[in-house]
Amino acid sequence: MAEPELSASFYGTAAGLYDLVATAPGVMSWRRRTVETLGVSAGDTVVEMGCGTGANMPFLREQVGSDGRVVGVDLVPAMLQEAQNRIERAGWKNVHVVEGDATQPPVDTADALVSTFVVGMLDDPAGATREWLDCVSPGGRVTLLNAGRSPRAVTAPLNLGLRLFVRVAAPGRRLSLTSPTRELERRWAEARDALFEAGIDQHEERLGLGLVPLMSVRVPE
């Protein structure tokens, strides 16, 4: 099955459960940090690719304020419905969701772009990353976040836990013979090459005891 169909069948039935995990307090602290690295100002437009249930939206909305705009793109209607519920509960008038394939962006102008826990799922992460860079105005930032094994020796048990989690939680990986974490890291590395080839002011850090790498660049003027 190709990646979009895998996502649709997996997240289509697990959106509510996913949201519980996605909004756990530790995870929300990674989201806050991710949004900080975008360097967004009040009034800006930020696009989120693969926005899922909209767990980043509170932080994005806080940064753009009431005069800016947040647009979340996702393939899976059940995930977008959770995001839309979040938007309505909060009463945000300037936060919107769009159903579409993030690898062929249905939006083309943004002051910043973010994508969390998505590039590891894409068949062509480098191609998608290049498309995303093209969506952002010169001077704007693109930040990506994902999961991967921690390079810290003391976190070896966590790496095993991550491997089990990815095997259970990532669409299409349960029966895969390839190590799911190695595959995630290969895709992350491809996205990183594309991001760092085109972007300046490159920034990298690891959150979550090293298990959650973040990378961010600025689109050249």
Contacting residues toward ligand SAM, per CB under 6 A: 3-4, 7, 11, 22, 50-52, 55, 73-76, 79, 101-103, 116-118, 121
Least distance between ligand SAM and beta carbon 47 (Å):
12
3-12 and 77-90 helices, crossing angle to 10°:
50
CA dihedral 146, 152, 155, 159 (to 10 degrees): 40
Least distance between ligand SAM and beta carbon 80 (Å):
8
Least distance between ligand SAM and beta carbon 101 (Å):
5
Q: Look at residue 6 and give its three-state secondary structure.
A: helix
Least distance between ligand SAM and beta carbon 55 (Å):
5
Least distance between ligand SAM and beta carbon 10 (Å):
8
Q: Which is nearer to ligand SAM, 123 or 201 (CB)?
A: 123
Rg (CA), the chain: 16
Q: Which residue of this chain has its Cβ atom nearest to ligand SAM in the complex?
A: 52
Q: Which is nearer to ligand SAM, 14 or 139 (CB)?
A: 14
Cβ contacts of residue 100 below 8 Å, gap of 6+?
Answer: 73, 74, 75, 106
DSSP string, 76-98: -HHHHHHHHHHHHHHT-SSEEEE
Q: Which is nearer to ligand SAM, 18 or 92 (CB)?
A: 18
Q: State phi, psi for 202 to the nearest 5 degrees.
A: -70, 140
Q: Which is nearer to ligand SAM, 102 or 113 (CB)?
A: 102
Q: Which is nearer to ligand SAM, 52 or 199 (CB)?
A: 52
Residue type at 187 in one-letter notation: R
